[in-house]
Amino acid sequence: MLNDFTYQTPTKLIFGKGVIKELPKEIAKFGKNVLLTYGGGSIKKMGLYDEVYKLLDGFNITELSGIEPNPKYDPSVIIGAKLCKENNIDVILSVGGGSVLDCSKAISVCAKYDGEGWDLISGKVKAKAAVPIVDIITLAATGSEYDMGCVISNTAISDKRGYLDELLYPAVSFLDPEYTFSVSKWQTACGTADAINHVLEQFFAAPNSMFNDGIMISALRSLMTNVKIALKDPNDYSARSELMYVCSWGCNGILANGAGYSGWPMHSIEHALSAYFDITHGAGLAIITPRWMKEILSEKTVERFVTLGRNLFGLDKNLSDFETTQKVIDGFYAFFEETGIPMHLAELGVKEDKIEEMADHILENDSTNEPWMFAPLDKDALIRILKASM
């Protein structure tokens, strides 16, 4: 059964080897003044920075560098918005992973707003305009290149917030899988874990349909197969290209058109973990996933586990629902562990004495306990999941 829905993704995807040659033509559609945003230097190591300058000869380029993983409102977004205003920026060119792109998205609306930018990001004020964004994504993970979201941390108030607005869709996203050859094993595993979790957040919902289940299971199969290949051979184009494309589908709605909405509870939990301990997003999600699955198992949810068990893990139809579910939970745990993610939060520096505070924070800022949710989580449930994840 499908619910009613409206679907539109205005982003133009340009995918493949060497597609960057189209960059000047795409950028020129917006103007001459470009804000180039990037992170800690990976784009310089891989030669992409020089390549961009060569291609954009004749454009006026202003730079914002040093954007952090888990990008921060202060300083990055604030400085970026100021640079846009001072330099009359026509277009933001984001070159890097999801953090650089998310930061650029936040900058794009803050640059067109005269008040405190956090009011937009926190949803207090609705943005009215944004500077257009073109991006070259260098890490297969978040799907930010094809969605209308960004996630920004505000360290002053220990908050990490997902911000959604149609204004945040990039105008153009360049996806060249070769740019992901240099991604470390750790980021490859964490990026894939993030994308897997995006699928699961949408799979565990009601109603659902044979069609949506099919796309999501196919996405999971591709991610789980190709990450192992990419971890062994980082330059395997075939694996890197599938990872890149599947990740792009993660958050833009296409996987779950017409399906129910779960509320994305694992992301709510992980955002608190990153806000308090600045951990890598995908690693936090991988650790939470099997514990969350165990917590939400019920008469209502068991069918989802059985569908995954039979169609993704190829489990025998004669197994009981309980046995199937247990094998699915164990299967995800073993898979993440095999990709090199330590499966305990303590190993990432999370401290047990903050669990109760984080549970309160989640319920206050990013509720997980709404009656419409597929599997609501109250404070006790959040504490159980976090403790089991330690």
Nearer to Zn ion, 194 or 242 (CB): 194
Residue 147 found at the interface with Zn ion (CB under 5 A): no
Q: Which does 251 bind (CB under 5 to 8 A by kind): Zn ion, ligand NZQ, none?
A: ligand NZQ
**DSSP labels for 162-175?**
EEE-GGGS-SEEEE
Chain residue whose CB lies nearest Zn ion? 194
Buried b (16+ CB within 10 A) or exposed e, 336-375: beebebebebeebebeeebbeebbebbbebbebbeeebbb
Tokens 């060497």, located at residue = 18
Residue 142 found at the interface with ligand NZQ (CB under 6 A): yes
**Strand order, beta sheet including 172-175:** 12-15, 172-175, 133-137, 91-96, 33-37, 60-64
In the complex, minimum distance from the CB of residue 194 to ligand NZQ, in angstroms, rounded to a whole number: 6
Residue 194 found at the interface with Zn ion (CB under 5 A): yes
Among 49, 179, 203, 374, binds ligand NZQ (CB under 6 A): 179
Nearer to ligand NZQ, 179 or 204 (CB): 179
Residues 208-237 as x/- pattern, contact with ligand NZQ by CB under 6 A = ------------------------------
Biggest CA–CA distance in the chain, Å, is 67
Q: Which does 102 bind (CB under 5 to 8 A by kind): Zn ion, ligand NZQ, none?
A: ligand NZQ
- Distance CA(9)–CA(369), nearest Å, equals 29
Among 64, 141, 293, 296, binds ligand NZQ (CB under 6 A): 141
Residue 147 found at the interface with ligand NZQ (CB under 6 A): yes
Nearer to Zn ion, 145 or 194 (CB): 194
Alpha helices, DSSP H, located in 204-320: 210-232, 237-248, 265-277, 281-296, 302-311
Residues numbered 148-177 forming contacts with ligand NZQ, rule: CB under 6 A: 149-151
Query: Which of 284, 289, 299, 298 has the alpha carbon at shortest distance from 328?
Result: 289
**DSSP labels for 110-171?**
HTT-SS-THHHHTTSS-------EEEEE-SSSS-GGGSSEEEEEEGGGTEEEEEE-GGGS-S
Residues numbered 21-60 forming contacts with ligand NZQ, rule: CB under 6 A: 39-43, 46
User: How big is the site for ligand NZQ, counted in residues (CB under 6 A)?
Assistant: 34
Residue 265 found at the interface with ligand NZQ (CB under 6 A): no
Residues numbered 85-124 forming contacts with ligand NZQ, rule: CB under 6 A: 96-100, 102
In the complex, minimum distance from the CB of residue 318 to ligand NZQ, in angstroms, rounded to a whole number: 37
Contact 355, 381 (CB under 8 A): no
User: How big is the site for Zn ion, counted in residues (CB under 5 A)?
Assistant: 1
- Distance CA(233)–CA(231), nearest Å, equals 6
Tokens 């068990």, located at residue = 309
In the complex, minimum distance from the CB of residue 216 to ligand NZQ, in angstroms, rounded to a whole number: 16
Residues in the chain: 390
Q: Could you list the residues that contact ligand NZQ (CB under 6 A)? A: 39-43, 46, 69-70, 96-100, 102, 138-139, 141-144, 147, 149-151, 179-180, 182-183, 187, 191, 194, 251, 267, 281
Q: Could you list the residues that contact Zn ion (CB under 5 A)? A: 194
